[in-house]
């Protein structure tokens, strides 16, 4: 049997505990990452960032103060057209 010189494509020594610790960390971080992703998406909707991005894509313009002013004006116009209750 020929010994393999160090560093010639052979993986570094890892213990079984290191692999299981990584698996545990991955199992914990995956749901946390998903929750944070949903939270960020919800906050972007609440604060109209997503709506502004959709407006920019629909209007085919880049972000600017004038574009944001148009976005706000469009939102106000939509609110004014809604029927009011009570």
Give the tens place of pLDDT for each residue, 26-76.
888 888 999 999 999 999 999 999 999 999 999 999 999 999 999 999 989
What confidence tier does 22 reach under pLDDT thresholds 50, 70, 90?
confident
What pLDDT was estimated at residue 81?
77
Q: What is the pLDDT of residue 78?
A: 84
**Residue 79 or 76, more confident:** 76
User: Which residue is associated with the tokens 């993986």?
Assistant: 11
pTM greater than 0.75 (yes/no): no
How far is 39 from 8, CA to CA, in rounded Å? 45
Q: With b meaning 16 or more CB within 10 Å and e meaning fewer, what string describes 37-75?
A: eeeeeeeeeeeeeeebeebbeeeeeeeeeeeeeebeeee
């Amino acid at each position: 049997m020929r010994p393999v010189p160090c560093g010639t494509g052979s993986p570094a020594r890892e213990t079984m505990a290191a692999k299981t610790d990584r698996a545990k960390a991955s199992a914990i971080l995956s749901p946390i990452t998903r929750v944070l992703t949903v939270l960020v998406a919800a906050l972007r909707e609440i604060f109209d960032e997503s709506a502004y991005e959709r407006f920019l894509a629909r209007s085919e313009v880049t972000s600017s103060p004038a574009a944001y002013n148009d976005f706000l004006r469009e939102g106000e116009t939509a609110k004014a057209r809604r029927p009011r209750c009570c």
